[in-house]
Structure 1
């Protein structure tokens, strides 16, 4: 899953939100780097990714990606699912997406001292363009894919992935709507197992 889904699945605490976002930026063991609650967020992020990657619905969505971009299918579907989460946000949350986004940005700004450089570098852009709320629109997804494409070190065609979203929109949306409630159940079960071992 991408940024928005991971943040949505976090507990409603600053530490959990930070940890669930850090899962994309903190590599390897984090045992001595962060508080226990942040580490639990990172572990939840990693577990969600493992669950998602192995889920038959997610795998079916990946098969919709055109062959020239198939090696990026996981990244593309992650971002596409964030689009559908943003579009269906009110079905899953009583808090408006824009309010949730502002809450996340404030937490990140207030905790910059503990964040890795790779995350610090994107916070101003996240705030300026309201990145999380922008996922509601196809144009916001197109911009997100273009940004991701520039961060990949080798030549790629990831920026053309918006074609896959447009061509398979209804099926991808149906896949997301079938998958996401299962992911919520999984994350809630994982999240509240207090004896879950940490990294």
Structure 2
């Protein structure tokens, strides 16, 4: 899952908005405040669960131009696309209101964010583009952003060349995976609360 899904999970679990994004940014975990650390840990758990889910295995194995070994990177972005497309199924909060809430939550902890995340939050303050992640143009921009900063970024061009098909391929895996993911994070939060109460 990419930014949007991690923000949705932050809202559901009442954990830090910034903390739930930190898994995608370089941080010194030992220096994180407890609330940010909890979000960071949840992000890691989500990534592992998604990577191992049978729907993700199916998506990565589908025939396409891009290499299978890089399909998981693109999957994270196109899963955000399908979450936004199916937003009313997973949230009673209108999309525009959620996007505003997410940005406000991120801004509150911008000063505790690493530089690249702080820059992203500033970008969202100027132009809240979160809902654009549910558009073809938004998916393209997200992939291009990874291509610019990743040493193997050129390998993602094959996915861009066939992007409408890649997005279509992700719909069924998303619908199979995301309800399971939401159940998983709720269970993990219950376990964490039980452990905290015992402590």
Corresponding residue for 2:177?
179
Q: Pick from 46, 54, 57: which aligns with 2:55?
A: 57
**Ranges in structure 1 where 5+ consecutive residues have no aligned partner:** none
SS in 2 for 1:122: helix
C-alpha distance in 2 between matches for 1:17 and 1:178: 25
Does the 8 A contact of 2:5 with 2:83 survive in 1?
yes
C-alpha distance in 1 between matches for 2:104 and 2:13: 12
Q: Deviations over 1:42-77 (max 9, x none)?
A: 111000100111111111111226344433211101
Give the length in aligned residue pairs.
194
Corresponding residue for 1:106?
104
SS in 2 for 1:121: helix
Corresponding residue for 2:36?
38
**Ranges in structure 2 where 5+ consecutive residues have no aligned partner:** none
C-alpha distance in 1 between matches for 2:130 and 2:92: 16
Taking only aligned residues, the RMSD between alpha carbons, in angstroms, comes to: 2.2
Residues 1:64 and 1:129: Cα distance change in structure 2 (over 3 Å): farther
Report the CA distance between 1:144 and its aligned residue. 1.1
Report the CA distance between 1:16 and its aligned residue. 2.0
**1:65-144 matched pairs, under 5 angstroms:** 66-144=64-142
Does the 8 A contact of 1:83 with 1:137 survive in 2?
yes
TM-score after normalising by structure 2: 0.86
Higher helix share: 2
C-alpha distance in 2 between matches for 1:163 and 1:130: 27
Report the CA distance between 1:9 and its aligned residue. 1.2
Moved over 4 A (4+): 11-15
Does the 8 A contact of 1:64 with 1:168 survive in 2?
no
TM-score after normalising by structure 1: 0.86
SS in 1 for 2:16: helix
